Structure 1
Amino acid sequence: MLRRIEALTEPLVTRKPAAAPALPLQDVQLPSGLLVASLENYSPVSKIGVFVKAGSRYETAENLGVTHILRLASNLSTKGASAFRICRGLEAVGASLSVMSSREHMVYSLDCLREDPGRLTEYLINVTAAPVFTNEHNLRLIMLHLCVCEGVSHAALMKLGEQFFSTHTGAGAPGAVYRGGELRVQSGGGLVHALLACEGAAVGSVEANAFSVLQRLLGVGPHVKRGSNISSKLSQGIARATAQPFDATAFSATYSDSGLFGVYIISQADSGREVISAAMAQVTAVDEGRLTAEDLTRAKTQLLVDYLMSLESSEGLLEELGAQVLSSGTYSSPQTVTQSIESVTSGDVVKAAKKFVESKKTMSCYGHLANTPFVDEL
């Protein structure tokens, strides 16, 4: 019996799309200060992460590089298990244990099948809380812990955190202070690398969203593999000012109490001044209100897509979940974050551009700097 084939352009009217199941976050703060958060996504694979406020910002002049040592030492023997035992135990069930670090935190994460976390958390506990060092007094960097997981019982996670991670605390670090400055390193060759920045905004704030939209408006790199960045405002403006080859992109870095926003430029040495001035002119144009509704919509759409795609993987979701809760003590759902991005107005973006144009700047450059302006000339 032949079945009638409907045109592909016709909508399916016989079946309504199923609503996506709600994935509520459970979170709690234990008396010790430990934060525990879990998200049930009904996946056959579980992911547990221990977030520690032990990034490079907590280092002092006496222990510079200790975060790097902690990360590299994560695959060595611990007080409770040897490196061989940890490796063999994980490989036997197809699990993996990894460590990554950023400016503000370290993340120890365990990936395994849903039925395995109970017998594998021993390794996560040892790697996180019981490393072995000869000069242990130089490695007292562990601050506040946060246990985050996907696909694990919240009650079990609370018990795990309270039993093994509640006693590791530290003094913390003072708030960041932006001071500006300039660094110029002269070298040979025909290129100049220049970075120009101002103080940005703290993560999760309205101002941070405005800076992120401004970043997409100016240009963050090619959106086509092996393509050019010709559609960005920076590229268009610099191309009109000079015929020399260049590369320019905007960046926005947000942290728990401050941030950085700016532009990064690579140009030929003899056209460095013209390229940097042309990049500054593009931010000044936004500061003066030369911003169309189409430009604003495009920039916000790019930011929304970048954010939502970062949550597609379990790694991205776990990192977003942990970073939010560790920095602010709360978690904003994707719906809340997307609404905050969509609510950014042209006035917010103009205000962010004005801050870059008028505030104290930081500049670092490297290369043949004969034709590279100083920060006070911009």
Structure 2
Amino acid sequence: MSAFARWLKKEGTGVMRGIQTLNQLSRRCYAATRIVPLTEPLGSPKSSKAIACPPQDVQVSKLPSGLVVASLENYSPVSKIGVFVKAGSRYEPLENLGVTHLLRLSGNLTTKGVSAFKITRGLEVLGSTLSVTSTREHMIYSLDFLRNDFDAVVEYLADVTTAFEFRPWEVSELTSRVKIEKAVAEQCAQTSVLEMLHQAAYKNALSNSLYCPDYRVGKISGDNMREFVENNYKSARMALVGVGIKHSALRQVAEQYIDVHHGTGTPGDKAVYRGGELRVQNGDTLSHSLLACEGAASGTAEANAFSLLQHLLGVGPQVKRGSGITSKLSQGIAKATTQPFDATAFNISYSDSGLFGLYTVAQAGSANEVIKAAVAQVDAVAKGAVSEQDLVRAKSQLKTEYLMVLESSEGLLEEIGAQASSSGAYSSPDAVAKAIDSVTSSDVINAAKKFVNSKKTMASRGNLVNTPYVDEL
């Protein structure tokens, strides 16, 4: 979400509150006219017959072309639909780096069937919201809309995902937006250092940035974008996902609108982990560092072990505005320095690889002590310092975190889409919880040993005068 969008959302909150206040006032005035004298007996309330809505499970089907359709009917008055395409930045060829950044910004441009103005105006009239996001593996196009407007909005979604036009003058206007997004990302130390970590960790594929390289800004043409779309936006690489929609209706939309470009497209390269180090010295007073090893691919038992190790070490405060002092990382580092610091473990899983490691933020003078103390905590786990109580706590935190993500329609859509796109199936929350519970302390210890013994990657930014190099850890 852009800064302007966040501001607009914030400003709009006040307007909505005013509207809600007026609505409540009218209800109160209406209620005030229905005065019943206390001397009259109260009649028994009339029983209302509620329409039974049987609970539904996620349904997944696959068309002959390879297009996956997944849906969950939850009877919500607001529905959400998304198209997931295996066309993230990892699929960019070297001669076309940065193209997915422009695709992310071109979601509302003129298509072969409808103008940019009509897309914006049409969705605005319906009160619908179009979002285009990207990861290193997927381009995601999603629509939020009122349930009764399903037939009206699906054509817009089909246009922006299957009928690209890329008019030269509209593409050229994206350059300023690319520069703004890059500037914002570079100012965020966490985003910047995470991009550096991927660049250092991999030889190809996952090393590609989510943002357009500086030397490519303003040089990506509509032909470059069209070539990438023709090679990757194929039915076999897509998943159509809906929340609050009947599966039969969603499948009909897939067959009528989305299932138009058959084939498998250009296969992506398998990610090759290499390890390495990148450092950026600047005038900041803090040192931001990420230290990682190759983790595990998503959906594997090893990935669950790394996730538990992450929560065992600490993922940040569990109490709002808290310090997270109960985590192993915080307790260990607090013994090594009296300077303020922040330390969390992270675990990122992709379809064929992953990154597990530690993220530390420290004052320049104490960076060495903070990083080494954090590494010592992982080393202690690798040597068996895992109690049953610690393991139970980590499992509870991980399951709660996963289930809370599914509480929002956005999180639910992304989880269903990620699973359907990668495996063509969906694992229920119960199945995921059982998989987490099946992880043993030995599995967690082995994950810690992998971090301690394997080749590491490090990315650092800020005042690095006292930040150790990766070969010193």
User: What TM-score does the superposition give when structure 2 sets the normalisation length?
Assistant: 0.73
- Shift of residue 189 of structure 1? 4.0
Contact 1:325 1:331 in 2 (8 A): yes
Answer yes or no: is 1:195 the counterpart of 2:228.
no
- Shift of residue 367 of structure 1? 2.6
**Match of residue 30, structure 1, among 54, 59, 63:** 63
CA distance in 1, matches of 2:126, 2:368: 58
**2:223 paired residue number:** 137
Contact 1:256 1:328 in 2 (8 A): no
**Gap regions ≥5 residues in structure 1:** 2-19
**Match of residue 323, structure 1, among 418, 432, 435:** 418
Identity %: 64
**1:16 paired residue number:** none
**Match of residue 47, structure 1, among 80, 85, 88:** 80
- Shift of residue 221 of structure 1? 1.0
Contact 1:256 1:327 in 2 (8 A): yes
Secondary structure at 1:241 match in 2: coil
Answer yes or no: is 1:151 the counterpart of 2:151.
no
**1:356 paired residue number:** 451
C-alpha change, 1:80 and 1:152, in structure 2 (3 Å) is same
CA distance in 1, matches of 2:293, 2:451: 6
- Shift of residue 223 of structure 1? 1.4
CA distance in 1, matches of 2:141, 2:284: 41
**1:220 paired residue number:** 315
Q: Structure 1 counterpart of 2:453, which letter?
A: E
**2:91 paired residue number:** 58
CA distance in 1, matches of 2:459, 2:164: 38
Q: Structure 1 counterpart of 2:353, which letter?
A: S
**Match of residue 87, structure 1, among 120, 127, 144:** 120
Answer yes or no: is 1:254 the counterpart of 2:349.
yes
CA distance in 1, matches of 2:281, 2:117: 48
Residue by residue over 1:234-261, the C-alpha shift from the partner in whole angstroms, topping out at 9 and shown as x without a partner, is 1110000111221111100011111100
**Gap regions ≥5 residues in structure 2:** 1-37, 39-52, 169-220
CA distance in 2, matches of 1:285, 1:192: 24
Structure with bigger strand share is 1
Contact 2:275 2:456 in 1 (8 A): yes
**1:15 paired residue number:** none
Residue by residue over 1:34-56, the C-alpha shift from the partner in whole angstroms, topping out at 9 and shown as x without a partner, is 11112221222222111111111
User: What TM-score does the superposition give when structure 1 sets the normalisation length?
Assistant: 0.91
Residue by residue over 1:122-169, the C-alpha shift from the partner in whole angstroms, topping out at 9 and shown as x without a partner, is 111111112221344312243411111123232332232223323435
**2:254 paired residue number:** 161
**2:31 paired residue number:** none
Secondary structure at 2:385 match in 1: coil
- Shift of residue 21 of structure 1? 5.1
Contact 1:269 1:372 in 2 (8 A): yes
CA distance in 1, matches of 2:271, 2:299: 16
CA distance in 1, matches of 2:285, 2:102: 36
**Match of residue 399, structure 2, among 290, 304, 311:** 304
**1:123 paired residue number:** 156
CA distance in 1, matches of 2:441, 2:291: 23
- Which shifted more, 42-51 or 287-296? 42-51
Answer yes or no: is 1:269 the counterpart of 2:364.
yes
- Shift of residue 289 of structure 1? 0.3
Answer yes or no: is 1:295 the counterpart of 2:390.
yes
CA distance in 2, matches of 1:23, 1:358: 46
CA distance in 2, matches of 1:248, 1:339: 29
CA distance in 2, matches of 1:295, 1:122: 51
CA distance in 1, matches of 2:130, 2:333: 45
Residue by residue over 1:77-123, the C-alpha shift from the partner in whole angstroms, topping out at 9 and shown as x without a partner, is 22211122122222222222221111111111122222221122111
- Which shifted more, 30-39 or 351-360? 30-39
Contact 2:155 2:257 in 1 (8 A): no
**1:339 paired residue number:** 434
Answer yes or no: is 1:365 the counterpart of 2:460.
yes
Secondary structure at 2:107 match in 1: helix
Secondary structure at 1:116 match in 2: helix
Secondary structure at 1:79 match in 2: coil
Q: Structure 2 counterpart of 1:242, which letter?
A: T
- Shift of residue 313 of structure 1? 0.9
- Shift of residue 372 of structure 1? 2.0
Q: Structure 2 counterpart of 1:269, which letter?
A: A
Residue by residue over 1:151-201, the C-alpha shift from the partner in whole angstroms, topping out at 9 and shown as x without a partner, is 323233223222332343521301111110111222334322111000011
Q: Structure 2 counterpart of 1:307, which letter?
A: Y
Contact 2:364 2:467 in 1 (8 A): yes
- Shift of residue 211 of structure 1? 0.6
CA distance in 2, matches of 1:151, 1:60: 37
Contact 1:47 1:110 in 2 (8 A): yes
Answer yes or no: is 1:107 the counterpart of 2:153.
no
CA distance in 2, matches of 1:189, 1:149: 45
Contact 1:74 1:131 in 2 (8 A): no
**2:131 paired residue number:** 98
CA distance in 2, matches of 1:78, 1:290: 58
Structure with bigger helix share is 2
**Match of residue 325, structure 2, among 226, 230, 247:** 230
**2:271 paired residue number:** 176
Query: Which aligned pairs between 1:3-14 and structure 2 lie closer than 5 A?
Result: none
Residue by residue over 1:331-356, the C-alpha shift from the partner in whole angstroms, topping out at 9 and shown as x without a partner, is 10111011111111111110110000
**2:339 paired residue number:** 244
CA distance in 2, matches of 1:117, 1:190: 52
Contact 1:267 1:275 in 2 (8 A): yes
Contact 1:186 1:369 in 2 (8 A): yes
CA distance in 1, matches of 2:282, 2:126: 52
CA distance in 1, matches of 2:141, 2:107: 9
